[in-house]
Amino acid sequence: MSTLSLYLLWSGLGVMLFYLLERLLFSKSTLFTARRVYYLAAIVVSLLLPALSPLLSDRIADAGKEALPALTLTYRLPEFFVTEVGSRSPLPWESILLGVWGWGTVLYVLRLMGGSLKLRQITAKAVGHEELPGGIRVHLIEGEGSPFTYGSRHIVMPVDLYESDTAGNALRHEMAHIRGRHFIDLYLGLFLKAIQWWNPFAWGLAALQDSNLEYLADAQVLKSGVQKRQYQLHLLRSSIGSSADSLMLSFSMNHLKKRVTMMNQKHRTLKGLAAGYALIALPVAALMLMSASLLTAEPAETTPASPTILTRVPDDDPVYEYAEVMPAYPGGQEAMLAFLSDNIKYPEEAVKKDIQGRVVVTFVVDKDGTVTEPKIAHSVHELLDAEALRVISLMPKWTPGKNDKGETVRVRFHLPVTFAFKQTAPDKDETPAK
């Protein structure tokens, strides 16, 4: 599977785990601020850690090591190729699914752009505007509907509601959204759904996040001294749906019953549990970090013949990770890269099975310059590992390294080799790689 496919699957798994954990532990919690932090952490961890984990794994593997310049071996496939008589090329299911995902993401983004345009049209038709402290602007529109907030400084409200006795509570609710910068949570949730539109748990997590923002705003209104029963009656009177969804936070949204239930809940969650809620998310984050190996390695499918490699009986001489004078390949690094390019061959079986990735080989340059003890430090697949080891065993003697006393010493190196291939149309005068 490609890195993108594995990223989407592992990211989706993270979203699922965070959602199920929330339903198990927080569904009746009244610690709305702690829940907000949890939702934000869930989205960021699910989207970011699977993308960073391959980079982290490579850095950990190479940390403190003397690394040689990476060699990228590219296997070129011609634009047209001949299959065996009677055989058929396998249907590229992964490419098809990724194509569907790409189109779904594009359509969702277009939908958001349409919603943004709709909001602009609504505000453009406003019959009046009111300026509030802090640069907040209230756009007054004709007709019925619920007031809502979009962006960081815009409130949209029907004129009739603005002139009624419920205007104060509606404004307090929308101002709570603005002061709390809830638009950040909203946009992050929209980004999650754009990437994970195929994942029902992503939609569920984003819906829980939106509901919690309403709970937060309701709690702020009640803290200002508004009577609970009076405020709930105002919510019921303003329960008409708005025509601009997805990009706004509304005074009167769906799940009104849940909002009233939260306000009337007698048993309040202890504030001391807030830190505990945040800590509960750590095991899921740790699990996401463990995805590094899944994103950078292919499962072994075949066991190729072991290559002939140089070995050495261990002795009491230490192996240095760094020496005062490092060993040198005859002719320098350019000559070494030329040697690798001339000798490494992309395994045909790996090409057939769409196996590619970055192999890291370690080896020791002995006191006499002989390359010994080649091992795989970062594996991708046995086919690619074996080829990298085979070529390392063919290396000529190096100029040995020396310590600060001028004594020859054994020094270990790490050599990353990236196996990759891409389908390209060959030039007219170019013969494709076989």
| Euclidean distance between CA atoms 328 and 336, whole angstroms | 10
pLDDT digits (tens, 9 = 90+) for 229-265: 777 776 766 655 444 446 666 654 456 666 766 766 6
For tokens 């070529």, name the residue: 391
Evaluate whether 50 touches 291 at the Cβ level (below 8 Å). yes
Q: Please, which residues have CB within 8 angstroms of residue 267's CB and are 6 or more apart in sequence?
A: none
Question: According to DSSP H, which parts of 63-92 are helical?
Answer: none
Evaluate whether 19 touches 55 at the Cβ level (below 8 Å). no
Q: Is the pLDDT assigned to residue 70 strictly greater than 90?
A: no
Query: Residue 48 — pLDDT band, cuts 50, 70, 90?
Result: confident
Evaluate whether 380 touches 298 at the Cβ level (below 8 Å). yes
pLDDT at residue number 368: 92
User: What's the Cα-to-Cα distance from 246 to each of 124, 190, 243, rounded to whole Å?
Assistant: 19, 8, 10
Provide the whole-model pTM: 0.60
pLDDT at residue number 204: 93
Average pLDDT for residues 287-305, to the nearest whole number?
48
pLDDT at residue number 282: 66
For tokens 């790490």, name the residue: 414
Nearest C-alpha neighbor of 215 from the set 283, 146, 176, 262: 262
49-63, 152-166, 274-288: segment of lowest average pLDDT: 49-63
pLDDT at residue number 140: 92
Q: Please, which residues have CB within 8 angstroms of residue 98's CB and are 6 or more apart in sequence?
A: 2, 4, 5
Q: Of 173 and 429, which is predicted with more confidence?
A: 173
pLDDT at residue number 312: 41
pLDDT digits (tens, 9 = 90+) for 110-141: 999 998 898 888 888 889 888 988 889 999 99
Query: Residue 338 — pLDDT band, cuts 50, 70, 90?
Result: confident
Query: Residue 313 — pLDDT band, cuts 50, 70, 90?
Result: very low
Instruction: Report the share of the chain in percent with pLDDT over 70.
Output: 69
| Euclidean distance between CA atoms 103 and 160, whole angstroms | 42
DSSP β-bridge partners for residue 372: 364
Question: According to DSSP H, which parts of 126-199 are helical?
Answer: 159-162, 167-179, 182-195
User: What's the Cα-to-Cα distance from 311 to each of 161, 366, 373, rounded to whole Å?
Assistant: 84, 11, 5
pLDDT at residue number 19: 92
Of these ranges, 52-61, 312-321, 336-345, 423-432, the one predicted with the greatest mean pLDDT is 336-345
pLDDT at residue number 366: 92
pLDDT at residue number 203: 95
pLDDT at residue number 323: 80
pLDDT at residue number 302: 36
For 297, how many CA atoms within 13 A lie in the half-sphere containing its CB? 18
Whole-number mean pLDDT of the chain? 76
Q: How many residues does the chain have?
A: 434
Average pLDDT for residues 365-390, to the nearest whole number?
90
Query: Residue 431 — pLDDT band, cuts 50, 70, 90?
Result: very low
| Euclidean distance between CA atoms 313 and 144, whole angstroms | 86
Nearest C-alpha neighbor of 31 from the set 364, 262, 294: 262
Q: Of 88 and 396, which is predicted with more confidence?
A: 396
Rounded to 5°, the CA angle 186-188-191 comes to 115
- Residue 8, H or E segment: helix 3-25
| Euclidean distance between CA atoms 53 and 13, whole angstroms | 15
